[in-house]
């Protein structure tokens, strides 16, 4: 598909990177919503931060026992996110 307008490769790359960054931020917000909806009030009270960085979800939890339980269920949490997106958005879950 030719538009008749040529663009510099650097400009196209910059636009692509901006689009990917916006997609990543949108995915992060959606992951936070999935977590909030699926985990419920009690777990959400102990969840201080959820970040998505390069297909890794970082979840910061303030309760040591809950942190340990979540760490043992990282694969289930990863699958929960990927099922919610119906795509492979998360490669790894890191509980802090």
What is the pLDDT, as a whole number, of residue 58? 97
Element (DSSP H or E) covering residue 8: none
Q: Categorize the per-residue pLDDT at 4 as very low, low, confident or very high, splitting at 50, 70 and 90.
A: low
Q: What is the mean pLDDT of residues 29-39?
A: 94
Which among 45, 52, 34 has a CA at the least distance from the CA of 89? 52
**Kind of pairing, strands 56-61 and 47-53?**
antiparallel
Is the distance from CB of 55 to CB of 8 less than 8 angstroms?
A: no
Beta bridge partners of 61: 47
Q: Categorize the per-residue pLDDT at 2 as very low, low, confident or very high, splitting at 50, 70 and 90.
A: low
Q: All domains of the chain, ordered by start, with CATH?
A: 9-95 (3.30.300)
What is the pLDDT, as a whole number, of residue 9? 76
pTM equals: 0.77
- Give alpha helix (H) positions in 1-96: 9-46, 64-72, 74-85
């Amino acid at each position: 598909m030719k538009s008749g307008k040529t663009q510099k490769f650097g400009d196209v790359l910059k636009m692509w990177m901006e689009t990917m960054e916006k997609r990543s931020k949108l995915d992060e917000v959606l992951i936070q919503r999935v977590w909030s909806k699926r985990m419920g009030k009690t777990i959400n009270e102990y969840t201080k931060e959820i970040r998505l960085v390069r297909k890794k979800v970082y979840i910061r939890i303030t309760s040591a026992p809950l942190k340990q339980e979540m760490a043992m269920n990282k694969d289930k949490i990863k699958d929960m996110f990927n099922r919610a997106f119906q795509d492979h958005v998360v490669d790894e879950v890191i509980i802090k």
